[in-house]
Structure 1
Amino acid sequence: MDSVMRIPILRLCLPLWVISVLGCATSIPAPEQNPDLNDAASIVRSAVPETLHIADEPFLPAPDINVAIFDVGPDAGETAAYMAVRKLESRLLPGLLREALVSSAQWGAVRVVPTVSPLAPVNIRATIVASDGRDLILDVRVSDITGAEWLALRLAYRETAPSDNLSDLSRIFHVVSNRMRDYWLSRTEVQRSSVISIADMLYARSLAPDVFSDYVDNTGPMLRLKRMPASNDPMLSRVKRIRNQEYLFCDAVDEQLGMLLERAGPTYYLWRQASIEQANWLDQYESMAASRSAGKGGGEFSRMQASYSAYRSYRIQEQALFELAEALDGESEPVVMTTEDAVITLEGTLDTQYATWRELLREIFLLEQGELQ
């Protein structure tokens, strides 16, 4: 209920000319502006959705990127139905961000993962601050494995006209890809290579801390690469093989979330369309209430009929989304993974599957080293 109450306040903060110019989205793209991420009014800026910068080829070295499933936020709704919808959004929206990053042709592998990890040099986290179907507010943070924060953005999107897909909504993520590109290109070649190498060493250290503890200096505010093992180091070869097994799991999860987008996306954007109609109904209702107070009632009945029709459409789509979201809530397809010695079926939530698989991989690594009895 709190999230529903906050959105009308946000609407009052949006001047009509801003709404008409933006058409669909606004954002605060520059972290140097120091936006107050606790102040919803700070998002009201005249920023037209950016055109996605598409590279002719990746600017090497191109780091892999992990997009973690979004945090549902502190205001996810009071009912089980609203919580289920927010959880559904937390899985759908990362897929749209991933699509923007992949379409930019500037990065290595981009995966949606259950949680951040040292698997990739760059991690993206986001929190859903508010969402009511028409207005969407996200806090997005991007950092690399060294501890450097690339950017912190508050993105705001307003649905202003019905759309037959989620392409308009996905445009809010163009600014994320573009700002990440700006940051990456501002680094020297040595700095870029160092980020990727540190990620390699941190992953190796997570498997064998005694062996790989001396390759990264963590005494300063940010991690620094001290040295690298020989390229033909047999231990490093085993680490790479285990890492590839973890990549395979993440690819399976990424594919599963992509299928979720295909399955739930149509119902989700129909709900967003109906949300516009419902918001218009509320606006018209308030206007009619003001007219009645002023003694103006001409044509009121026909206007109320049209307004109620819009409201009824919203309620139908809302119920359809609630039912789908609750059906999908907590649903994760079992993931079947194959090792040299066994076929393993992982079940439970994505977080549980991921944690279980990582622990199994670590045990396999230790067994190969003769450290596990």
Structure 2
Amino acid sequence: MIFRLATACALLLGLMGCVTETIKTTAVPTLETYQVTLPSEEVLDIAVVVFDPGIADIDPEAGIYPEIRRAEATFMARELSLVLDDQGVWGASRVVPSQDHITDILVTGTIEQSDGEVLALAIKAVDAQGRVWLDNRYLGSTSRYAYQQTQRVKKDPFLAVYRDIANDLISKFKSLSRSDRLAIRDVSKLKFARSFAPEAFEGYLVESAAEKGGNAALTRAVRLPAQSDPMMVRIGTIQQRNHVFVDTLQGHYDNFSGSMAGPYNEWRRLSYEETVALRELKSEAQNQLIVGGISLLAGIAAATSDDRNVRTAGAVGMYAGGGLIKSGLERRAEANIHSLALEELGQSLEADITPQVIDLEDRTVQLSGTIDDQYSQWREILSDIYAAEMAELPTTLPVDPPADLNQQSK
């Protein structure tokens, strides 16, 4: 009996000591571009909305730190925007604070997982017509070597994820015809105009049936205002001012990401180490608790034997089992200490995310609150500017002949 107990415990202890190597794929794909030079009217702008941090329904025990996730939501949106800019395809690649932003292509995302080891993003991209370009989940994993870079220009550990997204976007872009690109631009301009003068631009846009294989109706322009129309000229001026404001926001996002890069990269490195350590600690602790429990139970059973030698072995088994359980609980306590250390890192990172006052080229706009608040206030300012400029203009628009809308796509 003693031999069988010893053999069982030895086998379990041997299994506990086995280590399985985890192999991760970290290859970074080549960033795809578009070699054909397009006329300016076919070049599409793209905007990346600050990601949803994915903390609405988080489990308090999940080890997710809201202050870090909120910072990551901005940081990751900017990283994707920079990769899109590197493609040299898009007219402008900007980070924006709200889904209400009107542009040719709008990209939204939700952070599903981010712990320094794994990054999971749910990404959706929709153009101005309502055509869905992407609606995918992107998953990337990294290794400790990604945090040991020595080169002067360091790559983001999850650059592969951002490039996968960018490559899927350009793949969709390449599938569009000239008429598709022009239609997207027209609808984008008219949506922006309608947001300031809904009555004046009523009837210019209609919802059409979904494309083959699509599941949403598309918005299309049924007529266009004359290019020389005074109202459209002023709308164009307003749109340029809005671009200036959004470009100013890029400076804010750049400064934020720059100040965040140091502590964030350190946090990700530590988070990677902690994530791996926690997994190993929990696994080892679980094994020790199981083995300890078996040893303890075996010891109790042996202690009731009539054989003196068996009772002695039982006492040793109970002692060893109790020691293993104690060791397992201590390791779980150590895991909790690691979690507390991560929480302190998150709290120190939160101090870096303070919105700044926005300075424009022609004036300083005193905006307060979050970037979302500032963006809403700016839209109100633009509406006031537009109303003031349009006060003396007629409310009707001259319209180009319908044939012009068809001829431009040829």
Larger Rg: 1 or 2?
2
Q: Does 1:199 align with 2:188?
A: yes
* Residue of structure 2 equivalent to 1:108: 91
**For 1:114 and 1:150, how far apart are their aligned partners in 2?**
21
What is the percentage of aligned positions where both structures have the same residue? Answer: 25
In the TM superposition, residue 184 of structure 1 has moved relative to its aligned partner by 1.4
CA, structure 1 residues 363+371, in 2 after alignment: closer, same or farther (shift >3 Å)?
farther
Q: Does 1:222 align with 2:245?
A: no
CA, structure 1 residues 288+311, in 2 after alignment: closer, same or farther (shift >3 Å)?
same
**For 2:134 and 2:244, how far apart are their aligned partners in 1?**
29
In the TM superposition, residue 266 of structure 1 has moved relative to its aligned partner by 1.8
In the TM superposition, residue 139 of structure 1 has moved relative to its aligned partner by 0.5
* Residue of structure 2 equivalent to 1:5: none
Q: Does 1:68 align with 2:89?
A: no
In the TM superposition, residue 317 of structure 1 has moved relative to its aligned partner by 6.1
In the TM superposition, residue 214 of structure 1 has moved relative to its aligned partner by 2.8
Cα displacement string for residues 2-35 of structure 1 (whole angstroms, at most 9, x for unaligned residues): xxxxxxxxxxxxxx89x62513xxxxxxxxxxxx
Say if 1:274 and 1:313, in contact at 8 Å, map to a contact too. no
**For 1:366 and 1:338, how far apart are their aligned partners in 2?**
21
* Residue of structure 1 equivalent to 2:400: none
* Residue of structure 2 equivalent to 1:44: none
Say if 2:117 and 2:141, in contact at 8 Å, map to a contact too. yes
Q: Does 1:117 align with 2:120?
A: no
In the TM superposition, residue 328 of structure 1 has moved relative to its aligned partner by 3.4
Secondary structure of the residue aligned to 2:23 is: helix
Residue 352 of structure 2 is aligned with which of 328, 338, 342?
Answer: 328
CA, structure 1 residues 319+57, in 2 after alignment: closer, same or farther (shift >3 Å)?
farther
Secondary structure of the residue aligned to 1:335 is: coil
* Residue of structure 1 equivalent to 2:33: 54
Paired AA for residue 347 in structure 2: F
In the TM superposition, residue 156 of structure 1 has moved relative to its aligned partner by 1.6
Say if 1:159 and 1:272, in contact at 8 Å, map to a contact too. no
In the TM superposition, residue 116 of structure 1 has moved relative to its aligned partner by 2.3
Cα displacement string for residues 45-68 of structure 1 (whole angstroms, at most 9, x for unaligned residues): xxx653211344655522101100
In the TM superposition, residue 265 of structure 1 has moved relative to its aligned partner by 1.5
**For 1:371 and 1:357, how far apart are their aligned partners in 2?**
23
CA, structure 1 residues 189+311, in 2 after alignment: closer, same or farther (shift >3 Å)?
same
**For 1:76 and 1:99, how far apart are their aligned partners in 2?**
29
Say if 1:122 and 1:145, in contact at 8 Å, map to a contact too. yes
CA, structure 1 residues 138+81, in 2 after alignment: closer, same or farther (shift >3 Å)?
closer
**For 2:23 and 2:180, how far apart are their aligned partners in 1?**
43
CA, structure 1 residues 77+49, in 2 after alignment: closer, same or farther (shift >3 Å)?
farther
In the TM superposition, residue 310 of structure 1 has moved relative to its aligned partner by 10
Secondary structure of the residue aligned to 1:168 is: coil
CA, structure 1 residues 242+287, in 2 after alignment: closer, same or farther (shift >3 Å)?
closer
CA, structure 1 residues 154+105, in 2 after alignment: closer, same or farther (shift >3 Å)?
same
Paired AA for residue 22 in structure 1: T
* Residue of structure 1 equivalent to 2:167: 178
Q: Does 1:346 align with 2:367?
A: yes
Count of equivalent residues: 326
* Residue of structure 2 equivalent to 1:45: none
Say if 1:67 and 1:112, in contact at 8 Å, map to a contact too. yes
In the TM superposition, residue 92 of structure 1 has moved relative to its aligned partner by 0.5
Say if 1:216 and 1:226, in contact at 8 Å, map to a contact too. yes
Paired AA for residue 247 in structure 2: D
Q: Which runs of 5+ in 2 are unaligned?
A: 1-19, 210-216, 296-319, 325-329, 394-410
In the superposition, the TM-score normalised over structure 1's length comes to 0.77
Question: Which deviates more, 157-166 or 203-212?
Answer: 157-166
Paired AA for residue 175 in structure 1: D
Q: Does 1:161 align with 2:151?
A: no
Question: Which deviates more, 75-84 or 141-150?
Answer: 75-84
* Residue of structure 2 equivalent to 1:37: none
**For 2:91 and 2:84, how far apart are their aligned partners in 1?**
10
Cα displacement string for residues 205-236 of structure 1 (whole angstroms, at most 9, x for unaligned residues): 11112222232223542111212222222211
In the TM superposition, residue 161 of structure 1 has moved relative to its aligned partner by 1.4
* Residue of structure 2 equivalent to 1:211: 200
Residue 256 of structure 1 is aligned with which of 245, 252, 257?
Answer: 252
Q: Does 1:337 align with 2:318?
A: no
Paired AA for residue 229 in structure 1: P
**For 1:135 and 1:75, how far apart are their aligned partners in 2?**
20
RMSD of the alignment, in Å? Answer: 3.4
CA, structure 1 residues 78+166, in 2 after alignment: closer, same or farther (shift >3 Å)?
farther
CA, structure 1 residues 356+292, in 2 after alignment: closer, same or farther (shift >3 Å)?
closer
Secondary structure of the residue aligned to 2:360 is: strand
**For 1:153 and 1:209, how far apart are their aligned partners in 2?**
34
Paired AA for residue 349 in structure 1: T
Say if 2:108 and 2:123, in contact at 8 Å, map to a contact too. yes
* Residue of structure 2 equivalent to 1:137: 120
In the TM superposition, residue 306 of structure 1 has moved relative to its aligned partner by 12
Secondary structure of the residue aligned to 1:180 is: helix
Residue 365 of structure 1 is aligned with which of 386, 391, 395?
Answer: 386
Q: Which runs of 5+ in 1 are unaligned?
A: 1-15, 24-47
